Chain A
Amino acid sequence: MRSGDAAVLIDVADLSALFGALHRRGYTIVGPTVRDGAVVVAELGGAQELPYGWGVDTEAGHYRLRRRADDAAFAHCAGPQSFKDVLHPPRARLWSADRAPDGTPEVVPEPPSEKRYALFGARPCDLAALGVLDRVLTGGDHPEPVYTGRRDGTFVVAVECTEPGATCFCASMGTGPHARDGFDLALTELVDPDHCFLVRTGSPAGAEILAEVPTRPAPGETVTAAAGLVDRAAATMTRHMPDEPLPPLIAASRESPHWDDVASRCLTCGNCTMVCPTCFCTTTEEVTDLTGDHVERWRHWDSCFSVDFSYLHGGAVRTSGQSRYRQWISHKLGTWPEQFGMSGCVGCGRCIAWCPAGIDITAEAAALAASRTGQEQS
């Protein structure tokens, strides 16, 4: 069965059968669960670890779990983590070397991860983010070995969004709340009257897994109801990006006075880059033992908000907060399309919720658009 064919329903009690089918094939299942006051991405032992009955309240600089009146498992919006944490981990060893008796280092590349991941509960913005990371880390002349090793052979279970957060703006980025492609199975959660999931298959692998799970045909009105929930999610989204094309706006804003305004609020902490599901920048660190004969090179996430990020012999290129915020938002919205043929922003809203100063990327883009319009008029 292919995407667009007749959909079926899985009862909530049978999600465990879906987990079982994935486990039997050797997948390590990662997905949302409640931990430390947030919905995090973690390895899941079973469907019972999903965040049933938890909702989330978000606003600029605000994220709080909230108990729901129902038992919905996917009525929460993006948390502090994303599948980036799994496929492009914060720390990874690239290679190790030991010095032979003649002094020559014998370098051994890090073997690829042996785990095969099933990404459970990827929202449409997450699917878009995976598409961005695929392009950035594997679409050029040199596929990145850590990401490639983890991404190849992943199984993706998407869940469409029926309840966006106040910080979400995927509809204006064209990435959600409907799941269009990039999944093996796509679920839409229906809580009322029976808690169940409408399922579409997106690949032969998805169909194969689904064949091992109890399903029943979806009545036409259920399919319509599910689509209506997702349509409503799009309609209720309050935040949006300016309508105009962003790359020319950003390129025209390089010398904008607005950067001073942002810098007066921005702490240059880098939280936005850590929670962003597409921010991919890394640095490397060489580690040795006490003898110096054993050497390892590790790569870590890095952030364009650190002064050290732009270090060139003699000093950093971007020392001011203005220039560092400009770099981040310009890359995300302006230069990413030139570099990779797609936007670096998927509209998940994480950077808005997790900014300790409540800086809102949609509001900053709107301010740039407004100040340019003002300049043109004056």
Chain B
Amino acid sequence: MTTGTAGYASTAVNPAVPVPYRVVDRRADTHDTVTIELAAVTTTLPPFQPGQFAMLTAYGIGDVPISLSACRDDRLVHTIRAVGAVTRALHDARPGEVVGVRGPFGTTWDVGSATGRDVIVVGGGIGLAPLRPVVEHVLSRPGSYRRVAVLAGARSPAELLFTDDLRRWTGPAQVEVIVDRPDRGWDGPVGLVTSLIPEVDVDPADAVAFVCGPEPMMRFTARALVGHGVPAEQIRVSLERGMRCGTGWCGHCQLGPLLICRDGPVVPYPVAEPLLNVREL
């Protein structure tokens, strides 16, 4: 009686074992969020696609799922907000230090399927991080996509991510930024990111929307997009649950029938919608 699997030869990458990567660049985005760039110490993992995630290990503390926040040749770029023991340790890792990486895991944004169409990107808080490669991909191929709208929401101006990128994207894309709690210097709109949706200058019926943020934000954003005329099946959301493995073994990331590590994190809104509407699912 055998399982029919070959097991893991010494040369194959065992997905339970983190591969050492060195922090080669670290940049503070906000008071609690950094973007780190990682380079392989010896073994290089297979290429990651926008939307996919890595399990990042702080040795001796644990590992957590973190999406890719930029695509660079041979480098992994992750944006990490310090919210717990592991993310705090990863946040504090300085250039030269070594962290562990497992992956790539999960589904991609499948940006290419929006070719020839308008693109709407809606990010809430740290949710903008996994969307950044989508915007970069689309803007680097100006002939391939039509109009592009980027909507970014943050709690306060100080918590806004990627302000340089948002400025750089303005022009090639319609960029709208909104905060919930303005400070004295803020002269932009105030409120929730959903209130920006009526202002997008795209053809909603022929647009593909990419949405990531806190769960309530994604629920209301997707509903508002549908209300604005974007067909539900053209909306993709990136879901989040706790994970211990990333490989479908631990059971932690279930949301109804979904194993988020395997069937997500990116799922079509019609799949997520009935699940997000059930409390404590």
Which residues on A are within 8 Å of B, measured CB to CB? 94-95, 97, 99, 103-105, 107, 109, 112, 130, 134, 136-138, 140-145, 147-149, 151-156, 182-184, 203, 251, 254-255, 280-286, 288, 292, 295, 299, 302, 304, 309-314, 317-320, 322-323, 327, 330-331, 334-335, 338-339
CB nearest to A112 among chain B residues: B7
| Complex interface bits, B1-29 against A, C-beta within 8 A gives 1, otherwise 0 | 11111011000001111111000000000
Main secondary structure of the interface of A (DSSP, over half): mixed
A146 to chain B, nearest CB (A): 8
A302 to chain B, nearest CB (A): 7
- By the criterion CB–CB under 8 Å, are A282 and B251 in contact? yes
Partner of A107 from B17, B60, B262 at Cβ < 8 Å? B17
Please give me the 9 A-B residue pairs with the lowest Cβ-Cβ distance, nearest first.
A281-B251, A323-B280, A338-B257, A142-B247, A313-B83, A335-B257, A138-B3, A143-B5, A288-B60
Binds A, one of B116-124, B167-175, B236-244: B236-244
CA distance A330 to B275 in the complex (A): 13
CA distance A203 to B128 in the complex (A): 55
Main secondary structure of the interface of B (DSSP, over half): loop
- By the criterion CB–CB under 8 Å, are A148 and B5 in contact? yes
The residues of B that contact A254 with a CB separation of less than 8 Å are: 256, 278, 281
| Complex interface bits, B217-245 against A, C-beta within 8 A gives 1, otherwise 0 | 00000000000000000000000111011
- By the criterion CB–CB under 8 Å, are A138 and B5 in contact? yes
Partner of B4 from A107, A138, A323, A335 at Cβ < 8 Å? A138
- By the criterion CB–CB under 8 Å, are B281 and A97 in contact? no
What bracket does the count of chain B residues touching chain A fall in? 35 or more
The residues of A that contact B254 with a CB separation of less than 8 Å are: 327, 331, 335
Q: Does B279 contact A (CB under 8 A)?
A: yes
CB nearest to A335 among chain B residues: B257
Interface centre among B14, B83, B257 (most CB of A within 10 A): B257
- By the criterion CB–CB under 8 Å, are A144 and B278 in contact? no
- By the criterion CB–CB under 8 Å, are A310 and B242 in contact? yes
Q: List 5 A-B pairs, Cβ < 8 Å.
A: A95-B18, A103-B97, A149-B7, A304-B251, A311-B242
- By the criterion CB–CB under 8 Å, are B241 and A317 in contact? yes
Known A109-B14, A282-B249, A304-B251: A203·B59 in contact at CB below 8 Å: no
CA distance A285 to B244 in the complex (A): 9
- By the criterion CB–CB under 8 Å, are A319 and B280 in contact? yes
